[in-house]
Amino acid sequence: MLIDLIGVPLDLGSGRRGVDMGPSAIRYAGLERELEALGHTVTDTGNVEVTLPEIGAVGDPRLRYLDPIVETLDQLAGRVNRSLEAGRVPVVLGGDHSLALGSISGAAHNREVGVLWIDAHGDFNTPATSPSGNIHGMPLAALCGVGEPQLVGLKGSRLANSTINPKHVALVAVRELDPGERRALAAAGVQVFATEYIDRYGMYETMCQAIAVANAARDGMWVSLDLDVMDPAIAPGVGTPVSGGLTYREAHLAVELVAESRRMIGLDLVEVNPICDQGNRTAVLAVELALSALGKRVWESPRSPMNCE
């Protein structure tokens, strides 16, 4: 497999500084080296240039730092689109989760793409429903055509109108939703597999169902993995931790099943915050999960009768 690493040192969409150092932390944890050890050909394409605002230039408090974020996401969308056109698999290193609006918009340019959004949060707010105005809580809504016009399809960018069919979106392991997000997710028709679904049916069945939703799209699926989906005891280095997250093995099984589907066209690894971390362990975990998503196995286990198809 030909893989492009794309760093996005962006923290303007978040309410806490530090995730701009996430790409460096993930690189330091050995992602390129470990992917090459699996037999992949890896090109580190460097970082997208992040447009930095003047100090204190927040802009509209309901859409904090909108203009520089959109400029950055526009660049990212172009790089992801070019990577896919070249027959490569983009792996995007974040950075806060607002970047997924850029990566997935690039993937969806002239393509029908499904989305697996694996996250403790819904990221389905709009300026009208967001308690904070932080854009990292809005990208999935914008991808589904809901919210601020400048965000929806990255209107005005070079790859404008790259929206996603909400019926091809699966939100997995969410455990914290704002009231407005609940209503908007239901109205849009996004399939939500919250933590209680995993508790009831297990990660295997959950991911079989979620992958089927994203796989309904013609041209494959994009996986957007927020490290705060993990339990904070396992992944302390995130900006918005929520108790009751995934275990180490649940997370690995989830991305192992993604790899088995052979339908993933690209991957986000987001919200790694080295300031909050302990010995870079969250970045190391991000690398380990990326390896499982891209084919690493201890042993090729036989398929069970409840096969994901």
Could you tell me the pLDDT band of residue 208, with boundaries at 50, 70 and 90? very high
**How many CB atoms are closer than 10 A to CB 293?**
21
pLDDT score recorded for residue 302: 64
The percentage of the chain sitting over the pLDDT mark of 90, rounded to a whole number, equals: 88
Q: Calculate the average pLDDT of the chain.
A: 94
Q: Which two tokens stand for residue 101?
A: 């609006």
The 10s digit of each residue's pLDDT in 226-244 is: 999 999 999 999 989 999 9
pLDDT of 101 above 60? yes
- Which run of H or of E encompasses 186? helix 179-188
Question: Tokens 């994203």 — which residue?
Answer: 214
Do residues 257 and 206 touch, judged by C-beta distance below 8 A?
no
The 10s digit of each residue's pLDDT in 57-76 is: 888 889 999 999 999 999 99
pLDDT score recorded for residue 292: 98
**Is position 304 within any domain?**
no
**Is position 117 within any domain?**
yes
**Is position 303 within any domain?**
no
Domain containing 15: what range? 2-293
Please provide the DSSP assignment of 118-141 as one string.
E-SB-----TTT-SS--GGGSHHH
**Is position 305 within any domain?**
no
**Weakest mean pLDDT among 41-45, 157-161, 190-194, 285-289:** 157-161
pLDDT score recorded for residue 299: 78
pLDDT score recorded for residue 168: 98
CATH code where residue 93 lies: 3.40.800.10
**Is position 40 within any domain?**
yes
More confident of the two residues 162 and 41: 41
Could you tell me the pLDDT band of residue 306, with boundaries at 50, 70 and 90? very low
- Report phi then psi at 170, rounded to 5: -120, 125
**What pairs with residue 68 in β-bridges?**
none
The 10s digit of each residue's pLDDT in 8-24 is: 999 999 988 999 999 99
CA distances from 233 to 83, 135, 141, 227, 229 (A): 35, 26, 29, 12, 11
Strands 191-193 and 41-47: unpaired
**Is position 251 within any domain?**
yes
Could you tell me the pLDDT band of residue 53, with boundaries at 50, 70 and 90? confident
Distance of CA 231 to the CA centre of its chain: 17
pLDDT score recorded for residue 309: 62
pLDDT score recorded for residue 51: 83
**Is position 168 within any domain?**
yes
pLDDT score recorded for residue 100: 97
Q: Which two tokens stand for residue 298?
A: 């201890």
What is the mean pLDDT of the segment spanning 28-38? Answer: 98
More confident of the two residues 221 and 161: 221
What is the mean pLDDT of the segment spanning 293-300? Answer: 89
What is the mean pLDDT of the segment spanning 125-150? Answer: 95
pLDDT score recorded for residue 303: 63
Give this prediction's pTM: 0.95
pLDDT of 33 above 60? yes
pLDDT of 87 above 50? yes
**Is position 301 within any domain?**
no
Do residues 134 and 63 touch, judged by C-beta distance below 8 A?
no
pLDDT score recorded for residue 57: 86
Task: Say how many domains are in the chain.
Answer: 1
What residues are labeled active site? 97, 119, 121, 123, 136, 226, 228, 271
